[in-house]
Amino acid sequence: MGVEIKVENLSKSFGKQLIWGNVSLTVPAGEICVMLGPSGTGKSVFLKTLIGLLKPDEGSIVIEGTDIATCSEKELYEIRKLFGVLFQDGAMFGSMNLYDNVAFPLREHTKKSESEIRDIVMEKMDLVGLIGAEDKLPGEISGGMRKRAGLARALVLDPEIVLFDEPDSGLDPVRTAFLNQLIVDLNAQIDATFLIVTHDINTARTVPDNIGLLYHRHLAMFGPREMLLSSEEPVVRQFLNAQRVGPIGMSEEKDADELAAEEGQELPPLPPIPLQLDPSNGIARRSQRPPGEWCRENGVTPPPGSFEQNMTMVTGS
Amino acid sequence: MSSLTASRVLAPVGTAGNLFAFGLDVARSLFRRPFQMREFIQQAWFIASVTIIPTALVAIPFGAVIALQVGGLIKQFGAQSFTGSAAVLAVVREAGPIATSLLIAGAAGSAIAADLGARKIREELDAMMVLGIDPIQRLVVPRVLACMLVAVFLNGLVSVVGVAGGYVFNVVLQDGTPGAYLASFTALAQLPDLWQGMLKALVFGLIAAVVACYKGMNAKGGPKGVGDAVNESVVITFMLLFVVNFVMSAIYFQLVPPKTG
């Protein structure tokens, strides 16, 4: 049924360079969250901190009553069994074929017989559409396939929390759409907590229940999807709509001159909020909220044309 | 500025400390079940397969050079009958462990560092940790044990091949008498020499594997990082092994008095 991740006051720096500070957020149980941010703002570092691969300098990450930032190595290995992580390049073990890769966690952690393992592995391989490729080595397949194989391996222990490190990087738009649909369907099926780190705004606009934005060494905003998509906050607005006008520049932030040059420039209107991606069986996920609910509850008027069927995705205007 | 200099001066101390801490981690994981038998056998086989032939080929000239050098020198003393004894002493006590260390560090260590380094930069090690598996227990411990085991066997191989090489050179090229060569074997050498050679090889295998694993698991910065890790692991292992060899020899001479007559 998914597990909540409670992050408080988290800071991380490498040497003297602060990556991000003071990050506080709660990833609600069973919901899909997306963590956005311009390149190089430490999104992957955030993900690695969540699974305890990197130790934060300050703050706490509480999962099921255990603080990952301070717990012992032994507890960490226990708590990690709740996690499934999809790494950027899949991180498949190069010396094993795909079948053995996916079966690896089962063989290490369970006492299942080989035939039971085979059933589970085949089910997961089917889920990600890799039936027939079990005997391939990770070096012999495309990046997209490696990613899907990585997803199969991440799901094999029925995790309570699934983390995705840029699931859409290096994939073509069609495959990205399929993968996004797969993520939504998976969430409907296993009800785990999903956290996706990405900078693909298409994914961010249509997939999650909640969106977070890391920018300029802090968490700029975290909240329900509709809150961020209807937000007038300059950074959020610029990033989620892929505009050049705004505080984010080519290298991190713009300097005063560039900002002054933009003074008075008319911001393009907020594009309409698209409908959230439904599971392919059409039955809403447990954590899914009806379109426009947040806007109504908080008295926010969504941009005109929001929540219409078959809306074209126009961004970057 | 001063703190910058200080941190730079103290950096090697930090690295040494990290290496030592890593060694302790390995020692602790040594007793954690389940033991990875399959990985251990695979690694032992792999390390043996990359080291046996080079070791044998190094041992022959090693034994020959000792026979030539000592043979020439000993002739001037008029003590030819001790040639065999000197060769055995030199090969078993020093040449065996040293040749073993060179091969273990150069062939096995570099292979281990490259393997783990490649896994590190492909995030395989992270993935493993996230799957709840400790890479030290799963990958490092079997490699360290395999390296120690193979090092002991290699030491035996070097001793046998080295002495045989010395015999051939002494008898064929220096006109030594086979009987005198063989008969003088036990004149100076004694059984503890063999034990200390094996102990040295065991320690060398341990050091080489720990350094290689440490460097491999801490590789960073893409493919170049793997190359750097391999390079550093071989250099550091060589330096450590020669120092340790000296120290162990010195201790041995204090503990076991040389045989007289």
Residue A282 phi/psi, 5° resolution? 85, -10
Contact (CB, 8 A) for B84 and B101: no
Q: Are B130 and A83 inside 8 Å of each other by CB? A: yes
What residues in A contact B129, CB-CB < 8 Å?
A: 53, 77, 80
Give, to the nearest 10 degrees, the angle between helix B110-121 and helix B37-77. Answer: 150
Inter-chain residue contact A108 with B132, CB threshold 8 Å = yes
Least confident of A183-197, B25-39, B230-244: B25-39
Tokens of A216: 């300029």
CB proximity list for B235: less than 8 A, separation 6 or greater? none
Question: Which residues from B are below 8 Å from A92, CB to CB?
Answer: 124, 127
Q: Which residues pair with A248 in a beta bridge?
A: A253
Residues of chain B contacting residue A48, judged by C-beta atoms under 8 Å apart: 126
Name chain A contacts of B119, Cβ cutoff 8 Å. 93-94
- C-alpha dihedral, A165 to A169 to A173 to A174, nearest 10°: -60
Mean pLDDT of B200-219: 92
Cβ contacts (< 8 Å) between A53 and chain B: which residues? 126, 129-130
The lowest-confidence range among A69-73, A85-89, A157-161, B85-89 is B85-89
Specify the range with the lowest mean pLDDT, choosing from A17-31, B10-24, B167-181. Answer: B167-181
List of chain B residues whose C-beta atoms are within 8 Å of the C-beta of residue A153: 127, 131
Closest Cβ opposite residue A94 in set B124, B133, B134: B124
Query: What pLDDT digit, counting tens, does each position of A185-244 carry?
Result: 888 888 899 999 988 888 888 889 999 988 888 888 898 988 888 888 888 888 887 777
Q: Do A80 and B134 touch (CB under 8 A)?
A: no
CB contact under 8 A, A87 and B126: yes
CB contact under 8 A, A91 and B132: no
Is B131 near chain A, with CB under 8 Å?
A: yes
Question: What is the separation of C-alpha B110 from the centre of its chain, rounded to a whole number of angstroms?
Answer: 12
Task: Tell me which chain A residue has its CA closest to the CA of residue B123.
Answer: A91
Tokens of B150: 């193979």
Report how far apart, in Å, the C-alpha atoms of A49 and of each of A70, A141, A302, B60, B215 are.
Answer: 12, 30, 35, 54, 23
pLDDT on residue B227: 92
A194 strand-pairing partners = A32, A162
> Residue B252: helix, strand or coil by DSSP?
helix
From A139, which residue of chain B is nearest by alpha-carbon distance?
B122
Give contacts of A104 with chain B, Cβ < 8 Å.
131
- H helices present in chain A, as ranges: 43-50, 73-79, 98-109, 114-127, 143-155, 173-190, 201-206, 225-229, 234-240, 256-262, 293-297
Question: Is B131–A108 a contact, with Cβ atoms under 8 angstroms apart?
Answer: yes
Substitution target from B123, B133, B143, B217 for chain A, most A beta carbons within 10 A: B123
Question: Taking all residues of chain A, what is their mean pLDDT, rounded to a whole number?
Answer: 84
Taking Cα atoms as reference points, which of B74, B100, B70, B64 lies closest to residue B204?
A: B100
Res A307 pLDDT > 90: no
Q: What sign has the CA pseudo-torsion A314, A308, A190, A49?
A: positive
Chain B residues with CB-CB distance to A89 below 8 A: 122-123
Please give the average per-residue pLDDT across A148-164, as a whole number: 89
Give strand pairing partners of A19. none
Residue A311: per-residue pLDDT: 61
Please, is A203 exposed, middle or buried when counting C-beta atoms within 10 Å of its C-beta (0-12, 13-18, 19+)?
buried
Tokens of B248: 């162990």
Q: How far is CA B254 from CA B23, B94, B193, B249, B250, in A?
A: 28, 16, 13, 9, 7
- Residues of chain B with Cβ-Cβ distance to A78 below 8 Å are 132
Is the pLDDT reported for residue A268 higher than 80? no
Question: CB within 8 A of B55, min separation 6: which ones?
Answer: B99, B100, B103, B154, B157, B158, B161
For residues B58 and B61, give the distance between their C-alpha atoms in angstroms, rounded to a whole number.
6
- Judged by a CB distance cut-off of 8 A, whether residue B123 touches chain A is yes
Query: If 0-12 CB within 10 Å is exposed, 13-18 middle and 19+ buried, where does residue A133 land?
Result: middle
The answer to whether A159 and A192 have CB atoms below 8 angstroms apart is yes
Q: What is the mean pLDDT of residues B154-173?
A: 85
- The alpha carbon of residue B123 is apart from the nearest alpha carbon of chain A, in Å, by 5
Establish if B132 touches chain A: CB-CB under 8 angstroms.
yes
pLDDT recorded at residue A310: 63
d(CA A31, CA A9): 22
Residue numbers in B near A150 (CB within 8 A)? 127
Distance from CA of B124 to the nearest CA of A (A): 5
Q: Is B13 near chain A, with CB under 8 Å?
A: no
Nearest CA in chain A to B122: A91
Q: How many CB atoms lie within 10 A of CB B260?
A: 5
Contact between chains at A48 and B126 (C-beta distance less than 8 A): yes
Which residues is A83 bridged to in the sheet? A161
Collect all residues of chain B within an 8 Å Cβ-Cβ radius of residue A16.
Answer: none
This prediction has a pTM of 0.81
For the record, the structure tokens of A193 come out as: 């907590």
Residue of A nearest to B33 (CA): A108
Q: How many whole angstroms separate alpha carbon A272 and alpha carbon A250?
A: 26
The closest CB to that of A81, out of B122, B132, B134, belongs to: B132
Which of B124, B127, B134 is nearest residue A77 as measured by Cβ atoms?
B134
What is the percentage of chain B residues whose pLDDT exceeds 70? Answer: 97
SS3 A6: strand
Alpha helix ranges (H) inside B79-190: 83-90, 96-103, 110-121, 124-130, 135, 141-168, 178-183, 185-188
Q: Quote the minimal CA–CA distance from B100 to chain A in Å.
A: 28
Q: pLDDT tens-digit profile of A74-126?
A: 888 888 888 889 888 888 888 889 999 999 989 888 888 999 999 999 998 98
Contact call for B131 and A77, based on CB within 8 A: no
CB-based contact, B118 to chain A, within 8 Å: yes
Say which of B129, B132, B134 has its CB closest to residue A53: B129
pLDDT digits (tens, 9 = 90+) for B56-96: 888 888 888 887 787 778 778 877 777 778 778 888 887 88
Q: Does B130 touch chain A (CB under 8 A)?
A: yes
pLDDT, residue B3, reads 65
Judged by CB atoms closer than 8 Å, whether chains meet at B131 and A51 is answered as no
CB pairs under 8 A between A and B: 53
Which among A81, A91, A108 has the least Cβ separation from residue B126?
A: A91
Instruction: Using the predicted structure, report yes or no on whether residue A273 has a pLDDT greater than 60.
Output: yes
